[in-house]
Amino acid sequence: MSFNQNPNSELNQSVVIGPREVEVPESLIGEAIEFRNEMMKYSCAIRELKTKLEVLNDELSVRNQRNPIEMIRSRVKKPQSIFEKLKRRGLPVTVESMRENLDDIAGVRVICSFIDDIYDVSRMLARQDDIRVIAIKDYIRSPKVNGYRSYHMILEVPVFFSNCKQYIRAEVQIRTIAMDFWASLDHQLKYKKEMTEEEAAEIGEELRRCAEVIAGTDWKMLEIRRKIEDQEQMKEYDINKGREKVV
């Protein structure tokens, strides 16, 4: 399909894609319309969060001359996963129960270059006056037993609909490229079958040691970046001093 566009126009055009059809679990068939409506709201919350993060990334890239955010991924939890999580917790399988008890139906993962970028982005996001911070879990300063590291935020973000504004809950995970690399491989290896309990424990310990090595590398890369920045500042200072002498 082609569109006639004024060559002098500064507007960019884009195609608006509607929400995908959501499969409703059998246990929620009686609430099918309400369930689909809720899933649409979670998708909208993700869009709002991604926009906020992209704006922050643009601002910081201009200020610091580099992009702190390497990648943003997102997902709305699959209906079957929602059903199974409610069942595991012994909770009613209803739309209201889903809304009240699950914090991670809408999920956004932010991949940063360096550890300090994680804390900068999280602070700036939390300071926005329309964001409600519900909970924070810092698995960087306090890693999980298996070595997992990431910064988790449970937030409520306002979404404006045709007749109202609603705060929708979402989970934001912020981690470095190295942390994401380890978490992805750990997730894959956990699903390998045909391992004895002893073998699984041995593999788990090796993965934990790998997490320690990767964490050390993360901090070392931050140290190197700061050293380079200090050298650049010293050079700029010397250049400015030289200009003052000439004047």
Compute the half-sphere exposure of residue 4: CA atoms within 13 Å on the CB side of its CA. Answer: 0
CA–CA gap between residue 120 and residue 180 (Å, rounded): 18
CA–CA gap between residue 201 and residue 195 (Å, rounded): 10
Q: Is 200 left (phi over 0), alpha (psi -120 to 50) or beta?
A: alpha
Residue 175 DSSP one-character state: E
- φ/ψ of 33, rounded to 5, equals -65, -45
Positive or negative, the CA dihedral 185, 187, 188, 192 is positive
CA–CA gap between residue 77 and residue 100 (Å, rounded): 15
E strands, the chain, where? 69-76, 106-112, 132-138, 151-160, 165-176
- The tokens describing 132, both together, are 């409600």
Active-site residue 34, yes or no?
Answer: no
For residue 217, count other CB atoms closer than 10 A to its CB: 12
Task: Express the helix, strand and coil content of the chain in percent, nearest 5 each.
Answer: 55, 20, 30
Options 31, 171, 202, 206, the catalytic residue: 171
Catalytic residue list: 171
